[in-house]
Amino acid sequence: MSVNVREATAKDLQLVLAIYKAAGLASRGHLDVEEATAIFARIGNYPKYHVFVAEISKEVVGTFALLIMDNLANGGLPSGVVEDVAVLPAFQGQGVGKAMMHFAMDRCKSNGCYKMMLSSNEIRTEAHRFYEGLGFKRHGFSYRVDW
Protein backbone atom coordinates (compact mmCIF):
# COMPACT_ATOMS: atom_id res chain seq x y z
CA MET A 1 0.00 0.00 0.00
CA SER A 2 1.39 3.37 -1.03
CA VAL A 3 0.98 6.43 1.18
CA ASN A 4 1.08 9.86 -0.45
CA VAL A 5 1.72 12.90 1.77
CA ARG A 6 0.77 16.32 0.45
CA GLU A 7 0.01 19.79 1.70
CA ALA A 8 -3.61 20.13 2.78
CA THR A 9 -5.99 22.52 1.08
CA ALA A 10 -9.12 24.17 2.43
CA LYS A 11 -11.10 21.42 0.67
CA ASP A 12 -9.47 18.89 3.03
CA LEU A 13 -10.54 20.61 6.25
CA GLN A 14 -13.73 18.63 6.83
CA LEU A 15 -11.74 15.39 6.54
CA VAL A 16 -8.94 16.73 8.75
CA LEU A 17 -11.47 17.63 11.44
CA ALA A 18 -13.04 14.16 11.20
CA ILE A 19 -9.60 12.55 11.59
CA TYR A 20 -8.88 14.65 14.69
CA LYS A 21 -12.18 13.60 16.20
CA ALA A 22 -11.72 9.90 15.38
CA ALA A 23 -8.17 9.94 16.77
CA GLY A 24 -9.19 11.71 19.99
CA LEU A 25 -7.60 15.09 19.24
CA ALA A 26 -10.82 17.03 19.75
CA SER A 27 -10.87 16.85 23.54
CA ARG A 28 -11.17 20.64 23.90
CA GLY A 29 -14.02 20.85 21.44
CA HIS A 30 -14.56 20.27 17.78
CA LEU A 31 -14.32 23.12 15.29
CA ASP A 32 -16.84 23.47 12.54
CA VAL A 33 -15.57 23.87 8.98
CA GLU A 34 -16.14 27.64 8.99
CA GLU A 35 -14.02 28.14 12.12
CA ALA A 36 -11.36 25.78 10.76
CA THR A 37 -11.28 27.66 7.45
CA ALA A 38 -10.53 30.94 9.23
CA ILE A 39 -7.72 29.35 11.25
CA PHE A 40 -6.36 27.58 8.16
CA ALA A 41 -6.19 30.96 6.39
CA ARG A 42 -4.17 32.40 9.29
CA ILE A 43 -1.82 29.41 9.19
CA GLY A 44 -1.24 30.26 5.54
CA ASN A 45 0.27 33.60 6.62
CA TYR A 46 3.19 31.83 8.31
CA PRO A 47 6.00 31.25 5.82
CA LYS A 48 6.83 27.66 6.82
CA TYR A 49 3.81 26.42 8.73
CA HIS A 50 1.69 23.89 6.87
CA VAL A 51 -0.92 21.26 7.48
CA PHE A 52 -0.36 18.02 5.58
CA VAL A 53 -2.57 15.06 4.78
CA ALA A 54 -1.70 11.45 4.05
CA GLU A 55 -3.65 9.60 1.40
CA ILE A 56 -4.06 5.98 0.44
CA SER A 57 -5.65 5.56 -2.99
CA LYS A 58 -6.56 9.28 -2.86
CA GLU A 59 -8.48 8.79 0.41
CA VAL A 60 -7.31 11.12 3.20
CA VAL A 61 -6.49 8.91 6.20
CA GLY A 62 -4.01 10.96 8.26
CA THR A 63 -2.83 14.47 9.00
CA PHE A 64 -0.20 16.50 10.84
CA ALA A 65 1.07 20.06 11.04
CA LEU A 66 4.69 21.10 10.62
CA LEU A 67 6.20 24.44 11.59
CA ILE A 68 9.75 25.18 10.53
CA MET A 69 10.80 28.15 12.60
CA ASP A 70 13.78 30.40 12.40
CA ASN A 71 15.95 30.73 15.49
CA LEU A 72 18.39 33.28 16.82
CA ALA A 73 20.13 30.66 18.99
CA ASN A 74 21.93 27.54 17.76
CA GLY A 75 23.82 29.41 15.09
CA GLY A 76 20.60 30.62 13.51
CA LEU A 77 19.68 27.12 12.40
CA PRO A 78 15.93 26.51 12.09
CA SER A 79 14.07 23.82 13.96
CA GLY A 80 10.95 21.85 13.15
CA VAL A 81 7.90 21.36 15.35
CA VAL A 82 5.34 18.67 14.54
CA GLU A 83 1.83 18.97 15.96
CA ASP A 84 -1.59 17.35 15.63
CA VAL A 85 -0.44 13.97 14.33
CA ALA A 86 -3.50 11.81 13.69
CA VAL A 87 -4.38 8.74 11.65
CA LEU A 88 -7.85 7.25 11.27
CA PRO A 89 -8.06 4.26 13.63
CA ALA A 90 -8.82 1.84 10.75
CA PHE A 91 -5.50 2.80 9.11
CA GLN A 92 -3.26 2.79 12.18
CA GLY A 93 -0.44 0.26 12.05
CA GLN A 94 -0.36 0.34 8.24
CA GLY A 95 2.57 2.72 7.73
CA VAL A 96 0.61 5.97 7.45
CA GLY A 97 2.12 7.58 10.55
CA LYS A 98 5.57 6.38 9.55
CA ALA A 99 5.19 7.91 6.08
CA MET A 100 4.01 11.20 7.60
CA MET A 101 6.90 11.39 10.06
CA HIS A 102 9.48 10.51 7.39
CA PHE A 103 7.98 13.23 5.20
CA ALA A 104 8.28 15.73 8.08
CA MET A 105 11.86 14.64 8.83
CA ASP A 106 12.84 15.00 5.17
CA ARG A 107 11.21 18.44 5.01
CA CYS A 108 13.12 19.53 8.12
CA LYS A 109 16.43 18.19 6.81
CA SER A 110 15.97 19.90 3.44
CA ASN A 111 15.30 23.17 5.28
CA GLY A 112 18.52 22.88 7.30
CA CYS A 113 16.83 22.21 10.65
CA TYR A 114 19.14 21.10 13.44
CA LYS A 115 16.27 19.19 15.10
CA MET A 116 12.65 18.23 14.78
CA MET A 117 10.57 17.92 17.90
CA LEU A 118 7.10 16.98 19.00
CA SER A 119 5.31 16.47 22.26
CA SER A 120 3.08 13.61 23.27
CA ASN A 121 0.82 13.20 26.27
CA GLU A 122 2.55 10.98 28.82
CA ILE A 123 -0.36 8.50 28.85
CA ARG A 124 -0.02 7.77 25.09
CA THR A 125 2.48 4.93 25.54
CA GLU A 126 1.71 3.35 22.15
CA ALA A 127 2.52 6.65 20.46
CA HIS A 128 5.76 6.84 22.44
CA ARG A 129 6.81 3.40 21.18
CA PHE A 130 5.92 4.49 17.65
CA TYR A 131 8.04 7.67 17.85
CA GLU A 132 10.96 5.89 19.50
CA GLY A 133 10.83 3.27 16.74
CA LEU A 134 11.37 6.11 14.25
CA GLY A 135 14.49 7.29 16.09
CA PHE A 136 12.99 9.96 18.34
CA LYS A 137 14.61 10.21 21.76
CA ARG A 138 12.98 11.46 24.93
CA HIS A 139 14.55 14.79 25.73
CA GLY A 140 14.01 17.16 28.59
CA PHE A 141 10.63 17.98 30.03
CA SER A 142 7.52 19.41 28.54
CA TYR A 143 5.65 22.10 30.45
CA ARG A 144 2.40 23.87 29.76
CA VAL A 145 -0.01 26.32 31.24
CA ASP A 146 -3.71 25.86 30.54
CA TRP A 147 -6.23 28.69 30.47
Of 119 and 100, more confident: 100
* CA 114 to the chain's CA centroid: 18
Reported pTM: 0.92
* Domain layout of the chain by residue ranges: 3-133
Q: Which CATH number fits domain 3-133: 1.10.1380.10, 3.40.630.30, 3.40.50.720, 3.30.230.70?
A: 3.40.630.30
65-80 tens-digit pLDDT: 999 999 999 999 999 9
3 state SS for 107-125: HHHHCCCCCEEECCCCCCH
